[in-house]
Amino acid sequence: MHRLQRVLDRLVDRVDTPMPIVLVDVMQRNIDRMQAFATQHDLDLRPHVKTHKCVEVGRRQVDAGAVGITAGNVGEAEVFAGAGFDDIFLAYPVWPSGTKGTRIRNLAQTARMRVGVDNVAAIDALADAMGDEPDRLQVVVEIDCGARRSGAPPEAAGDLARAARSRGLVPAGVYTYPGQGSAGPGSREPAAQDQEAALSAAVRSLAGVGVTPEVVSAGSTPTVAFSTRSPITEIRPGEYVFCDLDNTRLGACDEDQIALFVAATVVSDWVPDQVILDVGTKAMGREGNPEKGYGGIAGSKAVLAKLNEYHGFMAVPAGESCPHVGTVVPVVPNHVCPVVASFEELLVTDTDGTLLERWPVAARGLLS
Ligand SMILES: Cc1ncc(COP(=O)(O)O)c(C=O)c1O
């Protein structure tokens, strides 16, 4: 029997499905392994909390040696600052609309606050928001290393840092996100090389305006194994903490590093070679495609072939028997982050199936 099914069988009477279940011992090993990797390569580790949005998980990352956390929006930063986290990098090109400027200024009172910038207009808006204390806010210039998402060309880093400095903000360095490293198993190393080249160019650009970066920050779970060389000083992986099927397919984690699955119940079985599970897009997000499916069933070749909002269509492969109505199965997400963000709490257990705790997904639903 698969290890996740064994855990689930021990908990099943206490689980209202669908429910995300965290194997805390596997998660802790993931945390410790990544920390050891960072330490071995003399890099700071700043995990991205968008994967777990959970204070208890963030604490374990910092207790293991992380220098601080990476957040994806102001609300996430506020939740973690409120829980005592005092070194936060908002790795996003923030536009301080509405109350966000004031909220960032407030955050900078209690935490060492860094925010991403990739254009002069945002630098000016952030400086305006900081009023008479712009030097409380550190900005990190986002550059594009080939993902073609946000981020200025590396050669523009110096001009942006100079603009920030002229407004009294503190230019702390540069960062990038090598999203192209998720395209396939062969994309990870080339993406990391793109990242290294772009960050090197950005550091030269900063030198041109007399800025020596305190931080040169790199992503991500798929590329981190190849992101160890100068000028990188910091890594920001997120998904490594739980892992998922996409990272397994990429070769960025092993199947036995998967630390989170969703318990789901078979609720209907009228269609041949198919059963319906109580996990749809509301639980799993929309991560997947018809080819790879929308999540796997641990211990089986079966996948969720299609999702409606509350229904997961589990296609039963030829030769496998259909689970009966009422059977509870472990569903492994393709991409773990949207799954966590769907739930109010994580049920925490260990590989023995001892139910330990329930942890709130404290930053759930916070998108601004
Ligand atoms: C800016 C930034 N940094 C770091 C990460 C973490 O990458 P991963 O979740 O692949 O570990 C992400 C992921 O989206 C990101 O957008």
DSSP codes of every residue in 177-196: --GGGGS-GGGHHHHHHHHH
Q: In ligand 1, which atom is closest to the CA atom of 91?
A: 1
Spacing, Cα 353 to ligand 1 middle (Å): 30
For position 1, what pLDDT does the model report?
Answer: 84
Whether residue 106 is found in the same domain as residue 200: yes
Whether residue 273 is found in the same domain as residue 220: no
Whether residue 202 is found in the same domain as residue 335: no
CB 214 within 8 A of CB 231: no
The binding-site residues of ligand 1, defined as CB within 6 angstroms of any ligand atom, are 48, 51, 70, 91, 177, 219-222, 236-239
Return the exposure string of 328-345: e unless at least 16 CB atoms fall within 10 Å of the residue's CB, then b: bbbbbbbbbbbbbbbbee
* Mean per-residue pLDDT pooled into runs of 10, the chain (368 residues): 93 95 98 98 98 98 98 98 98 97 98 98 98 98 98 98 98 98 97 98 98 98 97 98 98 97 98 97 96 96 97 95 96 98 97 91 95
For position 355, what pLDDT does the model report?
Answer: 82
Whether residue 258 is found in the same domain as residue 302: yes
Nearest CA, atom 15, ligand 1: 177
Find the angle CA(332)-CA(338)-CA(343) to the nearest 5 degrees.
Answer: 85
CB 241 within 8 A of CB 59: no
Q: Is the pTM of this model over 0.85?
A: yes
Helix axes of 100-110 and 74-82: crossing angle, nearest 10 degrees: 30
- Tell me, yes or no, whether 248 lies in a domain: no
Q: Cα 251 vs. chain centroid, distance in angstroms?
A: 17
CATH number of the domain at 328, please. Answer: 2.40.37.20
Q: Which contiguous run of DSSP H or E holds residue 38?
A: helix 24-40
Distances (CA, A) of 306 to 48, 302, 323, 341: 29, 12, 17, 20
For position 353, what pLDDT does the model report?
Answer: 86
What is the number of structural domains in the chain? 2
Structural domain that includes position 194: 24-240
Whether residue 169 is found in the same domain as residue 291: no
Whether residue 298 is found in the same domain as residue 349: yes
- Tell me, yes or no, whether 368 lies in a domain: no
- Tell me, yes or no, whether 246 lies in a domain: no
**End position of a domain, from candidates 188, 213, 240:** 240
DSSP secondary structure letter of residue 116: E
CB 340 within 8 A of CB 360: no
